[in-house]
Amino acid sequence: MTFWQTWQLRAAFAHRMASCYGREVPAYNTLVDVAAEINREVLERDGAAAQRLGRIDRVTAERHGAIRIGTPAELRAVSVIFQALGMHPVGFYDLREGRDSAVPVISTAFRPVDAAELSRNPFRMFTSLLVTDDRRFFDGDLQHRLDTFLDRRSLFAPELLSLADRAISGAGLSDPDAHRFLDLATASFELSSEPVDRAWYTELERISAVAADIGGLGSTHINHLTPRVLDIDELYLRMSARGITMIDTIQGPPRWAGPDLLLRQTSFRALAEDRRFRLADGTIQPGSVRVRFGEVEARGIAATPAGRDLYDAMLVEVDRRRLDDPQADWNELAAQVWAEKLPDTELGLAKADLAWFTYEVADHRGCSAPTADPDATVAQLTDAGVLTVTPIVYEDFLPRSAAGIFKSNLTADGAVELDRPGVARDAGWLSDILGRAVAEPADLYAAQQAASIAAARTRLGLPDRSGAVTPASRSQM
Ligand code: OOG
Ligand code: NI
């Protein structure tokens, strides 16, 4: 290759992260093997239905990673590297809020945003930033020492950042530059063998293992890399059967009879990894930490804001029923709630405006459909067989699941003073730090759905009404 386009850099980066992480955490390779084995079986069993939410080659290659960063300046730098890979900040997640799972970070996900880029390679990175000035976690003295420590470290070489700038302005890199860029980018996320300051790490760990993982080290590293699987319940059983300890649950929606919605995730428990520690007297001692785990996910259809509200309300309802019946199986209760409240077909979800879809003119109608009534709604045209629906895959994350994933891998709860005032952070703050807008997931899905409706109307010779469709509005045609 003489010139590497943005998506080729992204695919190569994802690939390199996988080799690096598989070397560092070999159980990850087992997870990938089992996921691939299950995907092959589901494809054989379900045929086309297995590819309803993405072609099998996309699903098999699909990964998300997670990294944790210490300062706004570090976050800005990492954002430039991801921009060079065609990955843009989407969504704002505040993980400090959970009453029993508070973690001192806020997060966003860097990912491709348009459909063509997603189908070339959907690699995304869940990126968390430590909030050192949040008094619920860090007092003034500790914040000061933490900030000083973090300001002294340098995670990304200037050469890497200038190659990233070049990749952004040129929409890719020449062959030698691409290799250098990928080498430097990958190395930035490799686990360092530098000894860890024992006293400092332990002090932070008492507050939060996540704080220690970020602020206790002189460098950053990939925390986990997550393959996508088509049957996560089966994966959970098969990993357990191989003697790998999984966390207690699958996070997110339950297994149920209707279409997959949003995102289901689970992980194996963080493994003890060898680290060298430097003691106060300067001696180096072997030890271990448990912060990295292996996660796997099953992706479903993207929910509209109304669908998200319903999702949140259903989770609350499951919690409520569980209080009444603590022995009940969570999945069973949840599947009941889902069956009561959620339409169990794609079309039902589309008509209730609970999930996002793209619409296309059905093949047999050819280029023009003279009977299409200009006033017909999307639902009417779909019922009449003029339009077909295709679900839009959920490309983002879920705050409650993310908090659960963080939490289920911590060995201790840490110390948080929830009654102290926190420090306000939101998507606007994050956009200012990054110097580019953090996209709202719903806007991206709404635009994709609206564009498909506009294209279908054009094909049917109907007047353009795309101006009438605003983000997250009902899907009237
Ligand atoms: C991130 C945890 C959240 C997900 O997939 O929801 C996450 C982390 O542990 O750094 O990865
Ligand atoms: Ni994850």
Over residues 262-281, the pLDDT tens digits come to: 999 999 887 888 899 999 99
Please indicate whether residue 93, judged by its CB atom, sits closer than 6 Å to ligand 1.
no
Q: From 208, 224, 229, give the residue whose CB has the most ligand 1 atoms within 8 Å, as the site to mutate.
A: 224
Contacts of 58 (CB under 8 A, 6+ apart): 119, 122
Per-residue pLDDT tens digits for 395-442? 999 988 888 887 776 666 677 777 787 888 999 999 999 999 999 999
C-alpha 55/C-alpha 48 separation (Å) is 9
Q: Decide if 475 is inside a domain.
A: no
**How many other CB atoms are there within 10 angstroms of residue 301's CB atom?**
25
What value does the mean pLDDT of the chain take? 91
Among residues 64, 65, 95, 339, the alpha carbon closest in space to that of 190 is found at 65
Which residues lie at CB < 5 A from ion ligand 2? 66, 226, 295
pLDDT given for residue 409 in this prediction: 66
Same domain, 291 and 189: yes
Structure tokens that stand for 251 in this block: 């996070």
Q: What is the pLDDT of residues 115-124, one digit of tens each?
A: 999 989 999 9
Q: Domain for residue 282, yes or no?
A: yes
**111 in Cβ contact with 90 (< 8 Å):** yes
C-beta of 265 in contact with ligand 1 (< 6 A): yes
For ligand 1, is residue 126 a contact (CB within 6 Å)? yes
Same domain, 103 and 248: yes
Residues 56 and 165 in one domain: yes
Domain count, the chain: 2
Q: 87, 389 in Cβ contact below 8 A?
A: no
Is the residue at 213 inside a domain?
yes
Please check whether residue 31 lies inside any domain of the structure: yes
User: What is the tens place of the pLDDT at every residue in 216-265?
Assistant: 999 999 999 999 999 999 999 999 898 888 888 899 999 999 999 999 99
Does the Cβ of 401 fall within 6 Å of ligand 1? yes
- State what percent of residues in the chain have pLDDT above 70: 94
Residue with tokens 């939101």: 426
Residues 343 and 359: beta-carbon distance below 8 Å: no
CATH number at residue 435: 3.10.180.80
Q: Are 87 and 226 members of one domain? A: yes
Atom of ligand 1 nearest to the CA of 409: 9
Q: Do 224 and 315 share a domain, yes or no?
A: no
The answer to whether residues 158 and 178 belong to one domain is: yes
In whole angstroms, how far apart are CA 168 and each of 73, 84, 140, 182, 265?
19, 5, 39, 14, 33
| pLDDT mean over 7-14 | 97
Q: Is the CB of 130 under 6 A from ligand 1?
A: no
Does residue 470 lie in a domain region?
no
In a domain, 338, yes or no: yes
Distance 406 CA to ligand 1 centre (A): 6
Report how far residue 246's alpha carbon sits from residue 236's, in angstroms, rounded to the nearest whole number: 7
The vertex-426 CA angle with 424 and 432, nearest 5°, equals 110
Judge if 224 and 371 occupy the same domain: no
Token pair recorded at residue 358? 């793209």
The answer to whether residue 469 sits within a structural domain is no
Which residue owns the Cα nearest ligand 1 atom 6? Answer: 402
Cβ 408 under 6 angstroms from ligand 1: no
pLDDT-based confidence at 470, cuts 50/70/90?
Answer: very low
H helices present in 189-273, as ranges:
198-207, 209-215, 232-241
Q: Check if 66 has its Cβ closer than 6 Å to any atom of ligand 1.
A: yes
Looking at residue 291, its pLDDT comes to 78
Output the pLDDT for position 346: 96
Atom from ligand 1 closest to the CA of residue 68: 10
- What's residue 100's pLDDT? 67
Whether 186 shows a pLDDT value over 70: the answer reads: yes
Q: Give tens-digit pLDDT for 303-361.
A: 999 999 999 999 999 999 999 999 999 999 999 999 999 999 999 999 999 999 999 99
Nearest alpha-carbon partner for 127 in 112, 113, 110: 110
**Does the beta carbon of 68 sit less than 6 angstroms from any atom of ligand 1?**
yes
Residues 171 and 22 in one domain: yes
Q: Are residues 386 and 399 in the same domain?
A: no
Find the domain containing 313 and state its range. Answer: 307-390+447-460
Pair (331, 400) in one structural domain:
no
Question: Does 146 lie in the same domain as 84?
Answer: yes
Q: Which atom of ligand 1 sits closest to the CA of residue 105?
A: 10
Question: Based on the domain organization, do 189 and 174 belong to the same domain?
Answer: yes
- What pLDDT score does 462 carry? 85
pLDDT for 105: 95
Residue 225 Cα to ligand 2 middle (Å): 7
| pLDDT on residue 401 | 86
Q: Residue 402 Cα, ligand 2 centroid: separation in angstroms?
A: 7
- The verdict on residue 465 lying in a domain is no
